Amino acid sequence: MTDQDKQDMLAAIGVQSIDELLADIPDETRFTRKLAIEKALKEPELLSFFQGLANDNTSIKDFPSYLGAGVYEHYIPSIVDHVISRSEFYTAYTPYQPEISQGELQAIFEFQTMICELTGMDLANSSMYDGPTALAEAAMLSAGHTKKKTILVSKAVHPEARDVLRTNAYGQNLEVKEIEIKNGTTDIEALKTMHGDHVACVIVQHPNFFGSLEPLAEIEEITHTSKAQFVVSSNPLALGLLKPPGAFGADIVIGDAQPFGIPTQFGGPHCGYFATTKKLMRKVPGRLVGQTVDENGHRGFVLTLQAREQHIRRDKATSNICSNQALNALAASVAMTAIGKKGVKEMATQNVQKANYLKKQLNNEGVFVQQNGATFNEFVVELNQPVSSVNQSLFKKGIIGGFDLGEVDKDRTHHMLICVTELRTKEELDQFAKELGAFA
């Protein structure tokens, strides 16, 4: 602003100077020196500066990556960006006026429908912030529905999701207890010991954080002996191949839609999904889009079954979620539509086959693969030195290594969680096996 602008504003509020404006603030709390920021750059210089910072990053476009652990590099059809970049989608927030938001509402309705097909559930909401918040909301719904205070969650659930769960549970005075792991999956005997009439829900991840498939039928049977809710967190791409949690009697299925059409983009934003049974329909957090007809009998869409207390009656709210990830849900919808049912199954199959191929090659190189049972596209290997140093060596050879489990468990510094998606080639897998063999 100009000096004249400043004087005009001071005059409008009836003071002579900035010091007079701030007179009520004690001198000892005022900031008297200049801000420690560098001199402003001209626009070309600024662009050059930020481009230099960007060039310091190495991305998955530069090196083949074996990182997963909740954020996955998958094929994204080119049509996804073309659709979500349209201004009517790109700038839309929440379609409060259905009569002028039919395109947005239909896109969300299709997302809900496809999530139901993948999970085997009756209905899904219009999306949530991400997988971990969806998991926490499932636990809160279960506690409210059952009027019970204990939540059992497997230690094979993503550690960050468990952190979010504990944060939410603290505010609701709920107790979170973790079920131990045995041979890479939830310990069934430990679950039997911990389960009882005081439990609101049992939460597992399938495939779990380590890539292994959980025995859902056994867990469901134990869970429902005391009318607790059975909550399953699932990678939606894996459900293109696996029997859906709904077929195992799950009450709530949640997860992250990131594998469909949403880039890794430094860890976010994502799009959580939340699917459940008709019985719990009126307790679902967030919002749902419904299909109807107008006065002329034409197909139309509306927002329906919103729990309004989430907006205006905070003290009675069952959830603090009153928004959705419409743009990312649209990206997931476009990706699933473009890939198609057969394509999703083919993608999932390639993830399994390529991961198994890498396991075999690693075994040939003398690398110890921990899991003997079925996995999806992730598995754990044990090395003879810390994964942090191994990953530095791999990076120097043009490879982004797997996730260092020492980051979440100090007793597993030699364990690497490796992810293989359909994008990895045979040549890349062979090279990775050979390089990792040096650390067997």
Measured between alpha carbons, how far is 376 from 258 in angstroms, rounded to an integer?
Answer: 16
Evaluate if residue 26 carries a pLDDT over 70.
yes
Give tens-digit pLDDT for 410-430: 999 999 999 999 999 999 999
Q: How many other β-carbons are positioned within 10 Å of the β-carbon of residue 96?
A: 8
Evaluate if residue 320 carries a pLDDT over 70.
no
Measured between alpha carbons, how far is 177 from 163 in angstroms, rounded to an integer?
Answer: 12
CB 207 within 8 A of CB 238: yes
pLDDT range class, residue 211, cuts 50, 70, 90: very high
SS3 state of residue 258: coil
Q: How far is CA 272 from the centre of its chain?
A: 6
Measured between alpha carbons, how far is 178 from 79 in angstroms, rounded to an integer?
Answer: 42
Average pLDDT over residues 294-301: 92
Evaluate if residue 307 carries a pLDDT over 60.
no
Measured between alpha carbons, how far is 80 from 159 in angstroms, rounded to an integer?
Answer: 30
Q: How many residues does the chain have?
A: 440
Buried b (16+ CB within 10 A) or exposed e, 261-278: bbebeeeeebbbbbbbbe
Residue 128 φ then ψ, to 5°: -135, 180
Measured between alpha carbons, how far is 105 from 287 in angstroms, rounded to an integer?
Answer: 11
Please state which of the ranges 130-144, 293-307, 346-360 shows the lowest mean pLDDT: 293-307
Which pair of tokens denotes residue 285?
Answer: 């957090």
Give tens-digit pLDDT for 343-361: 999 999 999 999 999 999 9
Per-residue 3-state assignment (H helix, E strand, C coil) for 34-97: CCCCCCCCCHHHHHHHHHHHHHCCCCCCCCCECCCCCCCCCCCCCHHHHHHCCHHHHCCCCCCC
Which pair of tokens denotes residue 367?
Answer: 């690398």
Q: How many other β-carbons are positioned within 10 Å of the β-carbon of residue 44?
A: 8
The residue among 239, 238, 191 whose CA lies nearest residue 219 is 191
Evaluate if residue 289 carries a pLDDT over 80.
yes
Burial class from Cβ neighbours inside 10 Å (0-12, 13-18, 19+) for residue 217 reads exposed
What is the separation, in whole angstroms, between the first and last Cα of the chain?
A: 64
SS3 state of residue 204: strand
Measured between alpha carbons, how far is 331 from 336 in angstroms, rounded to an integer?
Answer: 9
The residue among 91, 67, 169 whose CA lies nearest residue 403 is 67
Please give the pLDDT value at position 368.
94
Evaluate if residue 89 carries a pLDDT over 60.
yes
The continuous run of DSSP H or E covering 28 comes out as: none
Which domains does the chain show, CATH number per domain?
79-335 (3.40.640.10), 341-437 (3.90.1150.10)
Give tens-digit pLDDT for 48-70: 999 999 899 888 999 999 999 99
Evaluate if residue 160 carries a pLDDT over 90.
yes
Please give the pLDDT value at position 342.
97
CB 175 within 8 A of CB 153: no
Evaluate if residue 100 carries a pLDDT over 90.
no
Please give the pLDDT value at position 187.
97
Q: How many other β-carbons are positioned within 10 Å of the β-carbon of residue 146?
A: 18
pLDDT range class, residue 315, cuts 50, 70, 90: low
Average pLDDT over residues 76-97: 86
Evaluate if residue 406 carries a pLDDT over 80.
yes
DSSP 24: T
Q: Give the contacts of 3 (CB within 8 A, at least 6 positions apart).
A: none
Give tens-digit pLDDT for 218-235: 999 999 999 999 999 999
Please give the pLDDT value at position 437.
93
Strands 199-205 and 415-419: unpaired
